[in-house]
Structure 1
Amino acid sequence: MATRYWTVSLSVQNSASSLWTRLQESISKHSFDTPLYRFNIPNLRVGTLDSLLALSDDLLKSNAFIEGVSHKIRRQIEELERVSGVISSSLTVDGVPVDSYLTRFVWDEAKYPTMSPLKEIVDGIHVPVAKIEDDLKVRVAEYNNVRSQLNAINRKQSGSLAVRDLSNLVKQQDIIMSEHLTTLLAIVPKYSEKDWISSYETLTTYVVPRSSKKLYEDNDSALYTVILFSRDADNFRTKARERGFQIRDFEYNVETQDSRKQELEKLMHDQDTLRSSLLQWCYASYGEVFSSWMHFCAVRVFAESILRYGLPPSFLSVVMAPSVKSEKKVRAILEGLCDNANSAYWKSEDDGGLGGPGGDADGHPYVSFTINLL
């Protein structure tokens, strides 16, 4: 699939079919690797030239907006597919691949009646796309909120033992709590484990002998339990800190543990549900936005062609996908099919021309817009 297309319109002097044949022959002879298609734009309601000029000022901004929404949804789809491990699917518009939809474009008369004023058609395209973008922001924010909560939990359950959540490392049987006894959790640097094992029983008076047990270790530290009399806990904390051992505050509560587990399971379920829902919504919305974008491109080509070539509408509009190495060749072919008397005016300043109205360096003696699908 090509990812970069041109929409082009050429002024018709005699016959559109004759000009189409000449263009086909020229492309086939000089740039045979350039796919070429008719871009079937209906005769739209022009209105006054003043209204068309006023509309033309808005078309560039609106096109950039609609194109941006299309790309935003596509990027969201790619991210969701990557995270979900879904094999990237071919995006479609009404069941048709997006490139085929463009190259076989058919105006949707039921959705955009050609007898409607151009401004009304443009608004009929822009407003629903803006609504879709608003919906996308809300849905993505909801999904990202759940992801952020999960990431926060995961960060607490990973990293250094000095700061991470210990609840998933400590089991109920590891903790002994009674009227007189308590269990403390010590974070011991790996290089100090021998020192801990040989000294913890004597750090204070009321430590239960051989009560320390290793529960977990990472690259830097190990997590140990130690049982002692409750009245001696504060003193033990002080003595342990002096030896470089950190005592973590921890209270095992069955209800709290169950609540955390249920919260985690719910968040994981919500994340999967929201991701799946968002992905399906993006698939459907991408097709809708892409269709709107192609109709908008048709309006843009029509409006600019009328402003360029005048009334009544008499131009040939096409879609082509030249490779980068063939672009100059294709431009030369298109220019050769234009009125030679006006061609010099539209060349770039470097070539001695004005580059189109206002000195646009990308100006050509024909209407030309680029469509980037990615």
Structure 2
Amino acid sequence: MATRYWLASLPVQNSASSLWSRLQESISKHVFDTPLYRFNIPNLRVGTLDSLLALSDDLFKSNAFIEGVSHKIRRQIEELERVSGVISTSLTVDGVPVDSYLTRFVWDEAKYPTMSPLKEIVDAIHSQIVKIEDDLKVRVAEYNNVRSQLNAINRKQSGSLAVRDLSNLVKPQDIISSEHLTTLLAIVLKYSEKDWFSSYETLTAYVVPRSSKKLYEDNEYALYTVTLFHRDADNFRTKARERGFQIRDFEYDPETQESRNQELEKLMHDQETLRSSLLQWCYASYGEVFSSWMHFCAVRVFAESILRYGLPPSFLSVVLAPSTKSEKKVRSILEELCGSANSSYWKFEDEGGMGGVGGDADAYPYVCFTINIV
């Protein structure tokens, strides 16, 4: 189930602590089922308003990309855990559950120096996520290649007798191969078994009487042996086909069989090794992507808040997790705390209001966008 958060900012009129207290009081009084947390954004380097406007569209596009990679890795984890029979693991960022990382966000100054230009920070995050996505594609392709080879072998071993590999059904003692005699393998429809037994000895002149033995059966077919003279084999194939019996080409070779078994064991081992390695990589990479995503979101809130409220930076950023039934009331509270004059300006987008900043924000007097942790 998806966990959805709102990341929002409100303009500060007097003091951030006073606004925070009023917001806490309103939320606890009117929508007590909505968790509320402060989202601490450091004093980032503003640059020029022109540079912020140029960055705004990039922030919207890059956010969709980063969020998509995050969800892609998470879905890969869920699939690998399901296939491996692993109990679903709580995903973490440096040992902290992702929900807690978001609600207790702390900027990583060592990784993203606050004095760096915002575009430089955004480009660094985007480049890192591109590299992780490329690495994911390579690792998944390698794992899927081995899995496809195994699936192909399993299909050959589990399909109907008309098409499946027979080598694991036939034992050395089932086959007679001498200077004069040979053993053929016949695939007989189950409803034709009586016909097979009444006719196989007389299909040609050189069939060994009572030589047919059933080796295996599935829901549709039965596998029988029949022993006859070498010189009569081609003629028997033709006569058997005319009666609706399929003669499968088969030559028992112990070395080939052993080689197939070794190949199967190697593929199974490789699949398990790659699956375990990919799963561990996904756990670690999801944490990296999520951490980078939250830093990106911090830059996005910072940039859009300045474009919305102006300079100098003076806003309160928060994380909320409203239930569907509480959304309308929460928005009403946020709008009220923005001040009536500012609210009316943004409220009527169709009547000349400015609408959202950054490409995906709705027409609210405050900055707000959704974070979906799927």
Q: TM-score range by the shorter chain?
A: over 0.9
Q: Is the 8 A contact 1:36 1:321 kept in 2?
A: yes
**Could you tell me which residue of structure 2 aligns to residue 199 of structure 1?**
199
Q: Deviations over 1:48-85 (max 9, x none)?
A: 11111111110001111111110000000000000000
**Structure 2 counterparts to residues 223-242 of structure 1, below 5 A:** 223-242=223-242
Q: Is the 8 A contact 2:6 2:369 kept in 1?
A: yes
- Distance in structure 2 (CA, Å) of the matches to 1:69 and 1:285: 10
Q: Is the 8 A contact 1:80 1:275 kept in 2?
A: yes
**Structure 2 counterparts to residues 51-200 of structure 1, below 5 A:** 51-200=51-200
SS for the counterpart of 2:210 is coil
User: Does 1:356 find its partner at 2:355?
Assistant: yes
Q: Is the 8 A contact 1:355 1:361 kept in 2?
A: no
Which amino acid letter does the alignment assign opposite residue 235 of structure 2? N
- Distance in structure 2 (CA, Å) of the matches to 1:162 and 1:107: 64
Which one is further off, 197-206 or 105-114? 197-206
- Distance in structure 2 (CA, Å) of the matches to 1:29 and 1:191: 76
- Distance in structure 1 (CA, Å) of the matches to 2:347 and 2:313: 24
Which one is further off, 352-361 or 165-174? 352-361
| CA drift at 1:339 | 2.2
Which amino acid letter does the alignment assign opposite residue 155 of structure 2? R
| CA drift at 1:17 | 0.3
User: Does 1:343 find its partner at 2:334?
Assistant: no
- Distance in structure 2 (CA, Å) of the matches to 1:349 and 1:45: 30
Q: Is the 8 A contact 1:355 1:362 kept in 2?
A: no
Matched residue pairs, number? 373
Q: Deviations over 1:95-135 (max 9, x none)?
A: 00000000000000000000111111111211111100000
| CA drift at 1:353 | 7.0
| CA drift at 1:199 | 1.2
| CA drift at 1:172 | 1.2
Distance 1:23 1:72, change over 3 A: same
Q: Is the 8 A contact 2:2 2:372 kept in 1?
A: no
SS for the counterpart of 1:228 is strand
**Could you tell me which residue of structure 2 aligns to residue 288 of structure 1?**
288
- Distance in structure 2 (CA, Å) of the matches to 1:67 and 1:244: 59
- Distance in structure 2 (CA, Å) of the matches to 1:256 and 1:162: 21
**Could you tell me which residue of structure 1 aligns to residue 247 of structure 2?**
247
- Distance in structure 1 (CA, Å) of the matches to 2:260 and 2:117: 59
Distance 1:361 1:95, change over 3 A: closer
Distance 1:146 1:329, change over 3 A: same
| CA drift at 1:345 | 2.5
Q: Is the 8 A contact 2:361 2:368 kept in 1?
A: no
| CA drift at 1:361 | 8.1
Q: Is the 8 A contact 2:240 2:246 kept in 1?
A: yes
Which amino acid letter does the alignment assign opposite residue 289 of structure 1? V
- Distance in structure 2 (CA, Å) of the matches to 1:118 and 1:144: 39
Mark the runs of 5 or more structure 1 residues left unpaired by the alignment.
none
User: Does 1:307 find its partner at 2:272?
Assistant: no
- Distance in structure 2 (CA, Å) of the matches to 1:366 and 1:238: 83
Q: Is the 8 A contact 2:361 2:367 kept in 1?
A: no
| CA drift at 1:163 | 1.0
SS for the counterpart of 2:226 is strand
**Could you tell me which residue of structure 1 aligns to residue 24 of structure 2?**
24
Q: Deviations over 1:256-315 (max 9, x none)?
A: 101111000000000000000000000000000000000000000000001111111000
- Distance in structure 2 (CA, Å) of the matches to 1:193 and 1:55: 76
| CA drift at 1:347 | 2.1
Q: Is the 8 A contact 2:346 2:355 kept in 1?
A: yes
- Distance in structure 2 (CA, Å) of the matches to 1:172 and 1:344: 88
- Distance in structure 1 (CA, Å) of the matches to 2:20 and 2:373: 25
Aligned-residue identity in percent:
88
Q: TM-score, normalised by structure 1?
A: 0.97
**Structure 2 counterparts to residues 255-294 of structure 1, below 5 A:** 255-294=255-294
Q: Deviations over 1:349-368 (max 9, x none)?
A: 58x67471599782200000
SS for the counterpart of 1:157 is helix
Show structure 1 runs of 4+ deviating over 3 A: 352-355, 357-361
**Could you tell me which residue of structure 1 aligns to residue 329 of structure 2?**
329
Q: Is the 8 A contact 1:2 1:99 kept in 2?
A: no
SS for the counterpart of 2:101 is helix
Which amino acid letter does the alignment assign opposite residue 153 of structure 1? I
**Could you tell me which residue of structure 2 aligns to residue 220 of structure 1?**
220
Q: TM-score, normalised by structure 2?
A: 0.97
**Could you tell me which residue of structure 1 aligns to residue 14 of structure 2?**
14
| CA drift at 1:198 | 1.5
Distance 1:255 1:23, change over 3 A: same
Q: Deviations over 1:124-162 (max 9, x none)?
A: 211111100000000000000000000111111122211
Which one is further off, 152-161 or 21-30? 152-161
SS for the counterpart of 2:370 is strand
- Distance in structure 1 (CA, Å) of the matches to 2:342 and 2:11: 12
- Distance in structure 2 (CA, Å) of the matches to 1:349 and 1:57: 19
